[in-house]
């Protein structure tokens, strides 16, 4: 069996693509519009999962955008999407500079949490050994949700 993807419904496709691609660094591998079903599916992968020709693509996330507005309030049954990152401090600085709240700052150089525009919890884990504790993260507090 092969793990394919996690599907999350999004209320604002452009805001979600800006978050997942421009800010978090994922790559859109392909998308499908359904006139009949009135929805758009956009498949995203992490750079390590997409070869340069995008031929061997392994989407990890399927964004579902229903054209008719819906309200998505997350159930406790869904936890988070987790990514292993090269430099958690650099990524969190990039996210923070682009207006993303760092809900759980990477004080320990190992783990951070942010949320997508729809409130999907995103876990960021440092590749390899934790980085040395560093400001401003060391003195930053959680936003209270962790
Ligand atoms: C392409 C494949 O990976 C899919 O997941 S298609 C599954 C299909 N999705 C939709 O119909 C999208 C629009 C729908 N209104 C929705 O919000 O899901 C589907 O069967 N979805 C139902 C589900 O619970 O996933
Ligand atoms: Ni799917």
The domains of the chain, with CATH numbers, are 2-66 (3.10.180.10)
- CB-proximal residues (5 Å) to ion ligand 2: 7, 62
Is-catalytic flag, 141? no
Catalytic residue from among 2, 123, 141, 145: 123
pLDDT digits (tens, 9 = 90+) for 10-36: 999 999 999 999 999 999 989 999 999
Predicted ipTM of the assembly: 0.95
What is the value of pTM for the model shown? 0.83
Residues in the chain: 146
Instruction: Please tell me the distance between residue 33's alpha carbon and the centre of ligand 2 in angstroms.
Output: 14
For the CA of 4, the nearest atom of ligand 1: 3
Separation CA 132–CA 102 (nearest Å): 18
Q: Which two tokens stand for residue 116?
A: 């997508």
Q: Which residue's entry shows tokens 């969190």?
A: 92
pLDDT digits (tens, 9 = 90+) for 56-114: 556 789 999 999 998 887 676 788 888 889 999 999 999 999 999 999 999 999 999 99
């Amino acid at each position: 069996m092969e793990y394919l993807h996690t599907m999350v419904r999004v209320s604002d496709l452009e805001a979600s693509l800006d978050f997942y691609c421009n800010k978090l660094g994922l790559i859109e591998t392909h998308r499908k519009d359904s006139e009949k079903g009135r929805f758009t599916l956009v498949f995203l992968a992490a750079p390590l999962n997409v070869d340069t020709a995008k031929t061997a693509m392994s989407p990890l996330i399927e964004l579902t955008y229903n054209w008719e507005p819906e309200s998505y309030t997350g159930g406790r049954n869904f936890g988070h999407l987790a990514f292993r990152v090269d430099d958690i401090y650099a990524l969190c600085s990039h996210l923070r500079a682009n207006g993303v709240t760092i809900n759980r700052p990477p004080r320990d150089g190992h783990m951070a949490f942010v949320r997508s525009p729809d409130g999907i919890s995103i876990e960021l884990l440092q590749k390899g050994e934790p980085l040395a504790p560093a400001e401003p993260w060391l003195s930053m507090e959680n936003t209270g949700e962790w």
